[in-house]
């Protein structure tokens, strides 16, 4: 069974990020939200600081490059470390977690499906960012295909030593500033999943454009972009994994494997936001109420706080199980979906309860604007990386497949 205890290094990382979040990130959070941007100089300093904490490697490296798991070198702890970091950074400000320089969500598919040459080429640009910050991105969602991944319509056709891509991608995190984006396309929509192909499309590729930058309800300091491909000429050598990888449904499986690694990290971020709201409400109640007094309303407040706390604790345990399985090389699709479905709802409920417990102070007072911000930020955690409804479908299918063996 998986371990609940963090390693000494993970504990040190957790404490370091908690201290940085409390003293530096959270005090700037509202300003970043209003300006819809995190200053590049801050991101540069954060990257350099995080690199020094890991002896030259960013603590986000396991997330951005996709830690190899279940290899001959033995089990990794990269996914667990990334989950710890994700929760702590989201506790401070979720936008910073999504804005960290590196391969981002584009990292796991390149790590799991790319050739050795592709991994070296595309990860190599992130090894030294002392002069220029760089990002990677993941382009799957389309205006007509979000949760239904099999319905993507971005097309690809081979022409000589290139593929020609046409289509639009939307809601792409860091899409506008990415050095490269993993783009999913199809050779024939009628083939469904079997027609999927994954490409690494580099910035500056002919026919590859950035569309609008989204104006969002939450996570406003993080860039979310539309990407447009119009007769985009992508070298055949950028087909992720090479031609032979797509003799089966490998393109679709590349997308799904990415979700198995990233959904628990999204769930960890949700836990961080939910924990922030819970702690805020807890401290507000401690300073304004004496819950030991025999007043029914006080008992109801205490019960609400207890329910929020236990739901968040349960979500974190599910996250840790999912990332432990990933580090052990154990298939974790069901647990990955469970962690995201549970954490998203638990954190949304935590933010709602915190606002209701604090009353007008929760949204109207400038001193309490962080609670209102967390309420705006948290909703997307039940949407992106697969909606809560999709997670429940995945879970039920996995359960039913197991039952068929009886």
Which residues belong to the active site? 385
Kindly report the number of other CB atoms within 10 A of residue 349's CB atom: 18
In 110-179, DSSP assigns E strands to 136-139, 155-159, 162-173
Secondary structure class of 6 (helix, strand, coil): coil
Q: Which residues contact 399 (CB under 8 A, 6 or more apart)?
A: 334
Separation CA 188–CA 103 (nearest Å) = 29
Taking a C-beta distance cutoff of 8 angstroms, is the pair 138, 106 a contact? yes
Separation CA 185–CA 183 (nearest Å) = 7
Taking a C-beta distance cutoff of 8 angstroms, is the pair 334, 395 a contact? yes
Taking CA atoms, 161 is separated from 234, 235, 236, in Å, by 9, 6, 5
CA dihedral 8→11→12→18, nearest 10 degrees, is: 180
Separation CA 120–CA 129 (nearest Å) = 16
Separation CA 337–CA 388 (nearest Å) = 9
Taking CA atoms, 167 is separated from 93, 237, 296, in Å, by 33, 20, 58
Taking a C-beta distance cutoff of 8 angstroms, is the pair 42, 28 a contact? yes
Separation CA 80–CA 86 (nearest Å) = 10
Angle between helices 250-288 and 333-358 (to 10 degrees): 30
Separation CA 321–CA 339 (nearest Å) = 9
Residue 196 falls in which region: left (phi positive, over 0), alpha (psi -120 to 50) or beta: beta
Q: Which residues contact 1 (CB under 8 A, 6 or more apart)?
A: none
Q: Distance between terminal CA atoms of the chain?
A: 24
How many residues are there in the chain?
A: 406
Secondary structure class of 226 (helix, strand, coil): strand
């Amino acid at each position: 069974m998986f371990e609940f205890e963090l390693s000494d290094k993970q504990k040190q990382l957790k404490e370091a990020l908690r201290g940085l979040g409390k003293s530096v990130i959270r005090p700037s959070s509202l300003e970043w939200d209003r300006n819809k941007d995190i200053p590049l100089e801050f991101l540069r300093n954060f990257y350099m600081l995080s690199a020094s904490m890991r002896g030259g490697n960013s603590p986000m490296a396991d997330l951005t490059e996709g830690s190899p798991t279940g290899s001959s070198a033995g089990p990794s702890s990269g996914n667990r470390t990334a989950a710890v970091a994700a929760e702590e950074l989201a506790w401070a400000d979720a936008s910073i977690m999504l804005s960290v320089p590196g391969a981002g969500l584009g990292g796991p598919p390149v790590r799991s499906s790319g050739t050795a040459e592709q991994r070296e080429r595309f990860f190599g640009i992130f090894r030294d960012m002392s002069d220029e910050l760089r990002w990677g991105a993941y382009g799957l969602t389309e205006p007509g295909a979000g949760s239904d991944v099999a319905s993507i319509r971005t097309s690809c056709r081979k022409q000589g030593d290139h593929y020609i891509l046409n289509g639009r991608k939307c809601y792409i995190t860091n899409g506008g500033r990415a050095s490269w984006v993993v783009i999913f396309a199809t050779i024939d929509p009628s083939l469904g999943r079997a027609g999927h192909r994954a490409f690494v499309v580099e910035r500056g590729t002919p026919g590859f454009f950035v569309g609008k930058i989204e104006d969002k309800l939450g996570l406003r300091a993080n860039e979310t972009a539309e990407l447009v491909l119009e007769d985009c000429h992508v070298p055949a050598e950028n087909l992720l994994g090479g031609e032979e990888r797509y003799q089966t449904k490998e393109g679709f499986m590349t997308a799904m494997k990415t979700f198995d690694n990233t959904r628990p990290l999204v769930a960890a971020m949700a836990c961080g936001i939910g924990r922030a709201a819970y702690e805020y409400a807890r401290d507000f109640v401690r300073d304004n109420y004496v819950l030991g007094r025999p007043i029914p309303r006080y008992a109801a407040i205490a019960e609400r706080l207890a329910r929020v706390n236990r739901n968040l604790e349960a979500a974190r345990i599910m996250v840790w199980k999912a990332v432990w399985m990933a580090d052990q090389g154990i298939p974790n699709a069901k647990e990955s979906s469970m962690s995201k479905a549970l954490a998203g709802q638990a954190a949304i409920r935590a933010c709602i309860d915190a606002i209701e417990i604090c009353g007008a102070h929760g949204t109207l007072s400038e001193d309490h604007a962080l609670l209102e911000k967390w309420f705006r930020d948290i909703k997307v955690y039940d949407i992106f990386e697969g909606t809560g409804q999709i997670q429940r479908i995945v879970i039920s299918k996995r359960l039913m497949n197991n039952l068929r063996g009886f």
